[in-house]
């Protein structure tokens, strides 16, 4: 008897190519379900009650923990269409013996290029230039930019994405500094301690993981050590950075700008004014979203689902200190 997998995507069965469908259906009993919005826990429990493997996207299942999955004794594997695992209770999955498979490599290039795109947007004030042309901001709004060549960029985290950003930055003629507590990272990059990186960099870019229910790791202390007039780039997770401290640092003139690949959740008047002035740039978690990533991602996701159905250990994420897109 074939093992059963339930795959939940925004487009259901239409998500997959004919070749991918054939591979999936040869590997197990596959049920496809379409969901454009987060699925309520009771509905999710019904969908997965007979599943050995679940294929899930953060869009349809934004939290994976005991509350959502505790009543599924048959479930043995979860394949997520994501690299980041900070929305997943890894310790609980490990205790339950549920294998997890994520996508550690599919979006590396796109996320790194997006980081540079955000940097260029802030340095050349591209967003404000468009807004001024369209009359969305006063005609006197300054769009004077500055060049990247000769500037210093400090990368905190030098896995796959951070290393790729380093290569692009070097091609722009930038000096690249790196900081990473993990040994063997940063080949060919000038490695320094965190304090030296913060005080020396014109741009600081974050490429390290957040974890399940973790607190902010980049706040007033770190911002206070940065070079006056520097900018901060965050294509990792918004949870890494204390937003109130960012607003204060911009008001004080210490931070020139902040770019985050998420929505800036702080909704007070001070934050809204900085967003309108173009000092805070937000891209709503779109760094990963490209044609190439979608193509690579679904192929790898299908591989992971099939691997979990076959109990192939090569398609499992290491649970302890689990991977995150920013940890690569």
pTM (predicted TM-score):
0.92
112 and 260 together in one domain: yes
306 and 227 together in one domain: no
**Domain final residue pick, 282, 301, 318:** 282
128 and 270 together in one domain: yes
pLDDT tens per residue, the chain (328 residues)?
Answer: 789 999 999 999 999 999 999 999 999 999 999 999 999 999 999 999 999 999 999 999 999 999 999 999 999 999 999 999 999 999 999 999 999 999 999 999 999 999 999 999 999 999 999 999 999 888 888 999 999 999 999 999 999 999 999 999 999 999 999 999 888 888 889 999 999 999 999 999 999 988 888 888 999 999 999 999 999 999 999 999 999 999 999 999 999 999 999 999 888 999 999 999 999 999 999 999 999 999 999 999 999 999 999 988 777 775 554 444 445 4
Whether the CA torsion 234, 299, 294, 284 is positive or negative: it is: negative
163 and 237 together in one domain: yes
Q: Are 128 and 141 in contact (CB under 8 A)?
A: yes
Helix, strand or coil for residue 33? strand
pLDDT of residue 165: 98
72 and 193 together in one domain: no
Number of domains in the chain: 2
Helix, strand or coil for residue 261? coil
Per the listing, tokens 């960029």 go with 153
Phi, psi of 282 (to 5 degrees): -130, 135
250 and 135 together in one domain: yes
130 and 261 together in one domain: yes
102 and 113 together in one domain: no
125 and 202 together in one domain: yes
Here the tokens at position 75 are: 């479930």
313 and 256 together in one domain: no
pLDDT of residue 325: 43
247 and 126 together in one domain: yes
Indicate which CATH number applies to the domain containing 121. 3.40.50.720
pLDDT of residue 324: 44
Q: Which domain holds residue 274?
A: 108-282
121 and 266 together in one domain: yes
Q: Count other Cβ atoms within 10 Å, centred on residue 177.
A: 22
């Amino acid at each position: 008897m074939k093992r059963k997998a339930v795959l939940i995507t925004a487009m259901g069965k239409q998500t997959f190519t004919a070749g991918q469908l054939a591979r999936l259906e040869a590997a197990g009993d596959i049920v496809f379900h379409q969901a454009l919005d987060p699925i309520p826990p009771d509905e999710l429990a019904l969908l997965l009650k007979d599943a050995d493997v679940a294929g899930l996207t953060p869009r349809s299942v934004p939290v994976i923990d005991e509350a959502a999955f505790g009543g599924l004794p048959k479930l043995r594997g979860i394949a997520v269409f994501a690299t980041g695992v900070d929305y997943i209770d890894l310790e609980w999955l490990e205790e339950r013996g549920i294998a997890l498979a994520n996508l550690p490599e599919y979006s590396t290039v796109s996320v790194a290029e997006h980081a540079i795109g955000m940097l260029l947007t802030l340095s050349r004030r591209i967003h404000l230039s468009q807004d001024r042309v369209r009359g969305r901001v006063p005609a006197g709004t300054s769009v004077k930019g500055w060049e990247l060549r000769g500037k210093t960029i400090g990368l905190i985290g030098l896995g796959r994405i951070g290393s790729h950003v380093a290569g692009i930055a070097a091609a722009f003629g930038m000096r690249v500094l790196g900081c990473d507590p993990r040994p063997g990272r940063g080949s060919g990059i000038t490695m320094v301690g965190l304090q030296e990186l913060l005080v020396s960099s014109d741009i600081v870019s974050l490429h390290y993981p957040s974890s399940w229910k973790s607190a902010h790791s980049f706040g007033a202390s770190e911002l206070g050590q940065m070079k006056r007039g520097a900018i901060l780039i965050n294509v990792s997770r918004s949870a890494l950075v204390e937003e109130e401290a960012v607003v204060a640092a911009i008001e004080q003139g210490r931070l020139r700008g902040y770019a985050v690949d998420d929505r800036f959740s702080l909704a007070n008047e001070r934050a809204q004014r900085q967003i309108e002035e173009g000092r805070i740039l937000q891209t709503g978690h779109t760094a990963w979203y490209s044609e190439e990533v979608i193509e690579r991602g679904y192929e790898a996701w299908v591989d992971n689902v099939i691997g979990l159905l076959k109990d192939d250990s090569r398609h499992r994420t290491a649970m302890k200190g689990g991977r995150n897109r920013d940890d690569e």
